[in-house]
């Protein structure tokens, strides 16, 4: 009986230690973000990205004069650059003709940008302004566009 009690106590201790070790050693997990691109037209493609409720509410825009500064929020949290390192502007819109609300799963909004087909891009999502952790997705859009998919942005440090 004593041996059984000792084994149970050891099993409990091993479980607790293992659980704490697992949780403390976790690296940041990837972030799935919905993204789509339209077909090339006059040498450019429209790129749309889903902004989930959690993204917008996690560290929302600063309010200036009673108005939310979404342009600043986008610049601080989403960095889209082409393969030469040139930053591409993104703007916030309330709907997407490339991503349905059903696919977006009740989004807060969408971000849109005009990009060139057959050029490599890097898109970084930075959940917190002052945290060096960001999530990255590297991609190239062909002339025929890119159908909607939830792409996994992987964690990187600055």
What tens-digit pLDDT sequence spans the chain (158 residues)? Answer: 777 786 766 767 767 755 555 444 445 699 999 999 999 999 999 999 999 999 988 888 999 999 999 999 999 999 999 999 999 999 999 999 999 999 999 899 999 999 999 999 999 999 999 999 999 999 999 999 999 999 999 999 86
Question: What's the whole-model pTM score?
Answer: 0.80
Under 8 Å between Cβ of 65 and 72: no
The strand order across the sheet containing 45-51 reads 87-88, 78-82, 120-125, 133-140, 146-157, 31-37, 45-51, 109-115, 91-93
Neighbouring C-alpha atoms within 13 Å toward the C-beta of 144: 1
Domains of the chain: 30-157 (2.60.40)
Residue 114: how many CA atoms within 13 Å on its side-chain side? 4
- Phi and psi, residue 154, nearest 5°: -95, 145
């Amino acid at each position: 009986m004593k041996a059984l009690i000792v084994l149970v106590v050891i099993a409990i201790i091993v479980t607790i230690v293992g659980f704490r070790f697992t949780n403390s050693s976790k690296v940041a997990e990837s972030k799935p973000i919905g993204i789509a691109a339209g077909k090339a037209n006059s040498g450019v493609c429209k790129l749309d990205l889903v902004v989930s409720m959690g993204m917008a509410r996690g560290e929302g825009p600063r309010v200036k004069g009673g108005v939310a500064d979404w342009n600043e929020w986008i610049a601080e949290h989403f960095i889209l650059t082409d393969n030469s390192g040139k930053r591409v502007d993104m703007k916030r819109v309330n709907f997407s003709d490339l991503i349905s609300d059903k696919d977006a799963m009740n989004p807060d909004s969408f971000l849109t940008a005009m990009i060139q087909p057959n050029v490599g891009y890097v898109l970084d999502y930075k959940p917190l302004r002052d945290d060096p952790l960001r999530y990255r997705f590297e991609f190239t859009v062909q002339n025929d566009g890119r159908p909607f998919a939830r792409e996994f942005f992987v964690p990187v440090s600055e």
